[in-house]
Amino acid sequence: MVSRALVGAIRFLLVASALLAPLSCESGGELEEASGGGETHFLKRCDPSAAACGTELACLCGVCSRACSVQNSCGDLATAECVAECGGRCDVTCEQDADCAALSADHRCQQGMCRAGEPRCADDGVGANEVLVIGDSFFAASHQITAYLEDQARNAGAIGAGERYRDNSRLVGNALAYTGNGIADQYTSAHDDDGDIRVVIMNGGGADALLGSCDVADAECPLLADAAEAAASLLSRMAADGVAQVVYVFYPNPQREDVAERIDALRPMLQGACEASPVPCQFLDLRPVFDGHYAEYIVQADGLNPTAAGSQATAAAIWATMQELCVAQ
């Protein structure tokens, strides 16, 4: 015979189950929204400077997603897979709007990827051929930084599938001032070929620090002073030519002591030239990007140039900067 206490316990459990069952079904969307997944946040366009993606996702190169490195790390996000863009993130490819229906009614197929929401930045009308990349071997050793940057722009719908940025960076003749003004020559060549340059992504100073020498690595060193003066002169020329924005990308820590001392002294000098520039100039210091990843991101044979992973991380940092500035969007 069943005891009165047991009957009471069973009755309590049945009532509790009846109350909780509709809650777990009806509130699923709210739980999903609170966690940052599902219709509300996943693959929605976002502002990198705002916490718009909930607690589970992050704003990765303009969309709410999750960083990933293996294919099965996106399994809990509807129809998502890990793609290489932005250093590896969960995303959903598509050919038509119907392919995005599993995400929400608001998601649309844009440039082959499912997206919701409007871009934060208005279209500034900058074409791919109006974006110029100049610099030394950090860019030119493989030109992968530009290629990854173009991937970011295509993924965001900023450039079309067949469009390319103009990359004049090169392995030789690439100093700011040492043995000639190689980086200025890269700009001159591009300007003479087609003067309509509105955005410049550049680095510079690495070749000067690598090839030249200083008795004391400080602002009084002629090698470094000449490099900073050449950078300031080039930025002034860009302003006169109508360039609208410069992103000055400065190196992570060189893994060679003989170069690192000069780079450390040159960094604030070039940052100062950028900040004082008559053309808007954003100085992008790559040290935080590479921190903790030098073994993976830097070619160990030379200790200076980026690996494929380092190039991808650099491109992601450049693109995030361009998005924050609403440049070439």
pLDDT tens for residues 258-315? 899 999 999 999 999 999 999 999 999 999 999 999 999 999 999 999 999 999 999 9
Together in a domain, 144 and 233: yes
User: What beta strand segments (E) does 147-264 contain?
Assistant: 166-167, 199-202, 245-250
Structure tokens at 117: 């929401």
Residue type at position 303: G
The answer to the question of residue 151 being in a domain is yes
The answer to the question of residue 31 being in a domain is no
Together in a domain, 45 and 144: no
The answer to the question of residue 120 being in a domain is no
14 against 51, higher pLDDT: 51
- 1 vs 3: CA distance, rounded Å: 6
| pLDDT for position 245 | 97
**Residue 290 structural domain:** 128-325
**pTM of whole model > 0.85?**
no
The answer to the question of residue 15 being in a domain is no
- 263 vs 259: CA distance, rounded Å: 6
Together in a domain, 98 and 159: no
The answer to the question of residue 48 being in a domain is yes
Domain boundary among 85, 115, 145: 115
Q: Domains in the chain: how many in total?
A: 2
- 165 vs 192: CA distance, rounded Å: 16
Together in a domain, 285 and 309: yes
Together in a domain, 95 and 163: no
Together in a domain, 316 and 279: yes
The answer to the question of residue 308 being in a domain is yes
The answer to the question of residue 1 being in a domain is no
Q: What is the CATH number of the domain that holds 214?
A: 3.40.50.1110
Together in a domain, 195 and 165: yes
The answer to the question of residue 266 being in a domain is yes
Together in a domain, 79 and 198: no
Q: Give me the helix-helix angle, 28-35 and 4-26, nearest 10°.
A: 60
The helix (H) or strand (E) run that includes residue 287 is helix 287-290
Q: Does the structure show a pLDDT above 60 at 77?
A: yes
Which pLDDT band holds residue 33 (cuts at 50, 70, 90)? very low
Together in a domain, 74 and 198: no
Q: Does the structure show a pLDDT above 50 at 18?
A: no
User: Tell me: the pLDDT tens digits for 117-147?
Assistant: 877 777 889 999 999 999 999 999 999 999 9
